[in-house]
Chains A and B, each alone.
Chain A
């Protein structure tokens, strides 16, 4: 890729949400905001190689998109009222307040409870995360055209039903926030373990965006334990990023990571958040328990020092809130460390997760430890077929090829 090509894809990752959010506020229309943002990026692809890259990329994109929107609104007679509104709003001073972030307004709109949950997630990933429709479709195992329709339908409802572009009423906030947190966690996970083999295995821009938005939500609702818990979980996960992929692009398992490469500052911040939540004495929610599990991991100077009994106890607590097979799978991994691979495998084998790559990867590792090479190789094969992440595939392939015998 050329330097300019790289500059454009970088600026797309960094500026997409800001451009859409700013336009949505100025124009009061999410659909036009998204379309004009996309056109502005397309113009950049045309113009920048000829004219050179402008000094302030974000401002150039927003201005270009806004001009195009005004041009289009002028052309559309049917939208005359709109046009007037848009022109009027264009020079209105930005409202200042506790929550002065267009992206947060955008995310509350995208996560509105009048939209079905799958639509909220898809819309937020498109509008705020800047993911493409194929990426979102893949993340949810939905066909591309179906995902496109889902997003279009959601945008149509936002406009027709006048879902407001703004922060909810104060007493609606707690309920609205839990929906936002679920979406942010999904964005974070897509960045942490990208599902597309054509993507970089770890997409820092997505994890960073999820963390930035989580910080805003925490600032907005300082008493919300789950918002703090989610932020802590993200920080403690992000802290291990540098150690998580080897120089040759292979995923590094937690036990093999160079703990010296972990980000001590993020860990300290994450631990402080977990401690502060514990100090409240309030019963923890799902994100707070997951954060506590990650705090136990990041507390161990060496993998051998990990307090696995504490981790199993935390998974037991999590199972009471969230009794899903995936939580059971993660608990079984901890059980294998605490009580041996035989017991861990017995728990894993009972789970209905045949379509999930981590299920097969976990089985493969436990079968390897039990010396059952043939079965282990087959399980690695299934895991490799199902894993979308390139670094994870590389890791699983090497582990499989290390196995001795037929």
Chain B
């Protein structure tokens, strides 16, 4: 089994609609019943982020995300799947249910 990070890509900070949230719940149940669930969460808007650099003496705090971009990660799943084909299916399903594009990226094995 391998683990994959499935990041939800969004181009606005609008939260999931009620219908989208319901669909996400259905998808989550499906992940759990299929034994694919590891963890998931929604993230607050990128503007709420703080970049912290503690490498050198006093930590430096910078308000805002490390990268200003049109799209941002609005949430994520961590899933478990035997191989990429299975993970791609789950990612396609997840994308459909949350109504956003997702990026699938393997954890180092």
Contacts and interface: CB of A to CB of B under 8 A. Distances in A.
Chain A bound to chain B: yes
Interface of A: 112, 114, 160-164, 168-169, 172
Contacts, number: 30
B85 A172 contact: yes
A162 B88 contact: no
B106 A162 contact: yes
Contacts of A172: 85
B109 interface: yes
Contacts of B87: 161-162
A163 B82 CA distance: 10
A169 B84 contact: no
B30 to A, nearest CB: 17
A169 B89 contact: yes
B8 to A, nearest CB: 19
A172 B4 CA distance: 20
B47 to A, nearest CB: 32
B14 interface: no
B85 A160 contact: no
28 contacts: A112-B84, A114-B84, A114-B88, A160-B106, A160-B108, A160-B109, A161-B4, A161-B84, A161-B87, A161-B104, A161-B105, A162-B2, A162-B82, A162-B83, A162-B84, A162-B87, A162-B106, A162-B109, A163-B83, A163-B85, A164-B82, A164-B83, A164-B84, A164-B85, A168-B85, A169-B85, A169-B89, A172-B85
Contacts of A168: 85
A358 B72 CA distance: 48
Interface in B75-91: 82-85, 87-89
Nearest 5 interchain pairs by C-beta: A164-B83, A161-B106, A162-B83, A163-B84, A162-B2
B90 to A, nearest CB: 12
Does more than half of chain B's interface fall in helix, strand or loop, or is it mixed? mixed
Contacts of A162: 2, 82-84, 87, 106, 109
Q: How extensive is the interface on chain B, given as a class?
A: 10 to 19
Contacts of B4: 161
Contacts of B83: 162-164
Kindly name the residue among A114, A160, A161, A169 whose own CB sees the greatest number of chain B CB atoms within 10 A. A161
A30 to B, nearest CB: 13
Contacts of A114: 84, 88
Nearest to A165: B83
Given A161-B87, A161-B104, 16 more contacts: A112-B84, A114-B84, A114-B88, A160-B106, A160-B109, A161-B4, A161-B105, A161-B106, A162-B109, A163-B84, A163-B85, A164-B82, A164-B83, A164-B84, A169-B89, A172-B85
A164 B2 CA distance: 12
A210 to B, nearest CB: 25
A168 B83 CA distance: 11
Kindly name the residue among A112, A162, A163, A164 whose own CB sees the greatest number of chain B CB atoms within 10 A. A162
A160 B109 CA distance: 7
A223 to B, nearest CB: 22
Contacts of A163: 83-85
A112 B85 CA distance: 9
Contacts of B85: 163-164, 168-169, 172
Nearest to A160: B106
Contacts of A161: 4, 84, 87, 104-106
A172 B87 CA distance: 13
Contacts of B89: 169
Kindly name the residue among B4, B84, B104, B105 whose own CB sees the greatest number of chain A CB atoms within 10 A. B84
B89 to A, nearest CB: 7
